[in-house]
Structure 1
């Protein structure tokens, strides 16, 4: 069983950062999606793909993965790069 542990990114459509402090454990897909013969919707028999576990810290997520024998890849959050600019800089 493979999974990835990452920190939820900020929503690009909003300025707030609510919920970005949580760590998510998400399982890797076990099989490829295929179109349903009747409706044509993409789907698979992999039910673990629907599971997203949320943890308060990275250590809690790692401990959960170790406890249940899940090989987890940890994806660190990239550092925030702020571009500080004054409104007057638009006219220089």
Structure 2
């Protein structure tokens, strides 16, 4: 039986915006370990579900899809990210709390 993970992806270190972080993703866990092809050294797997990544508007839609298809799933909740929005000009404010270092 296929097992899947449902999660909301986080932004990577190279991303400044919130693109590709709003959709929920259903991703299958590999059923078979990868093998190393002896001639070229490439890794391969006969499991094609490991290549599938489905996107959904909401967590409920992803869970409903998995239940309809009889897919065993695990929902991974992420903590909301707290961001302190500052402008570049805040570095030069007169009422700045910390010391200017240079």
Shorter-chain-normalised TM-score: which range? Answer: 0.7 to 0.9
Q: Which moved more, 1:8-17 or 1:46-55?
A: 8-17
User: Is there any run of 5+ residues in structure 1 with no aligned partner, and where?
Assistant: none
Which structure has more RCO (C-alpha within 8 Å, separation ≥ 6)? 1
Cα distance in 2 for residues equivalent to 1:82 and 1:72: 31
Provide the C-alpha distance between the structure 2 equivalents of 1:4 and 1:90, rounded to a whole number of angstroms: 46
So what's the TM-score if we normalise by structure 2?
Answer: 0.80
2:60 alignment partner, SS class: helix
Question: 1:90 and 1:49, CA in 2 relative to 1: closer, same or farther beyond 3 A?
Answer: farther
Unaligned runs of 5+ in 2: none
RMSD value, Cα: 1.8
Report what 1:51 is aligned to: 52
Q: CA deviation at 1:81?
A: 2.8
Higher Rg = 2
- Name the count of aligned residue pairs: 92
SS in 2 for 1:91: coil
